[in-house]
Amino acid sequence: MGKNSITGNFPEIRRRDRALDRESALNLLRQGQIGVLSTVDDKNQPYGVPVNYAVLHDTIYIHCAKSGHKLDNIRKNHKVSFCVVGSHELKPEQFSTNYESVIVFGSAEIIESEAKRIPLKTLIDQLIPQMAPFGDDYIDKHFKRTAIIKIAIEHISGKRRDEK
């Protein structure tokens, strides 16, 4: 098991010289706003979708409608991956890119109960803090038609390339 794993066996990063430690990977995850949630459907077809997200207590929260392809997939297979790209800069003269990224493997859970209120407030606070004073009213208005995807992190890895 890799040092960034909580459970399970996950492959080590090939370019160890670019690997981020667990805390740096978590910090990159916390700083992001958009990530790609990847699921697999019942025909083994992968499905990746960009989503807004928030992180609370090292758990990822995503808001969505109560129906849709990603929720259908999670109901059949709760294993997901989640990818965030931080800063990036093309380096044409090097035929390369400077970047930082993080990938999470985890278990997703769909929350449709009253327990989704705190993650919804966290999403507002982290993504649009200027709207926080209006957040409770917005949540109340849309509460019944909103679900939360909660991703428990089982493994996290991050990489950074920063060549001059």
Query: What pLDDT, on a 0 to 100 scale, did the predictor assign at position 45?
Result: 95
Return the higher-pLDDT residue of 4 and 93. Answer: 93
| pTM (whole model) above 0.85 | yes
Query: What pLDDT, on a 0 to 100 scale, did the predictor assign at position 94?
Result: 83
Is residue 1's pLDDT more than 60? Answer: no
Coil, strand, or helix at residue 160? strand
The rounded distance, in Å, linking the Cα atoms of 139 and 64 is 13
30 close to 102: Cβ distance less than 8 angstroms: no
CATH topology of domain 16-130+144-161: Pnp Oxidase; Chain A (2.30.110)
pLDDT tens track for 14-40: 788 788 999 999 999 999 999 999 999
The maximal CA–CA distance of the chain, rounded, in angstroms, is 53
Query: What pLDDT, on a 0 to 100 scale, did the predictor assign at position 14?
Result: 79
Spans of all domains in the chain: 16-130+144-161
155 close to 6: Cβ distance less than 8 angstroms: yes
pLDDT tens track for 127-149: 999 999 999 999 999 999 999 99
- Average pLDDT on 117-126 reads 94
- Average pLDDT on 50-74 reads 96
- Percent of the chain residues past pLDDT 90, beyond the cut: 76
pLDDT tens track for 66-108: 999 999 999 999 999 999 999 888 888 888 888 899 999 999 9
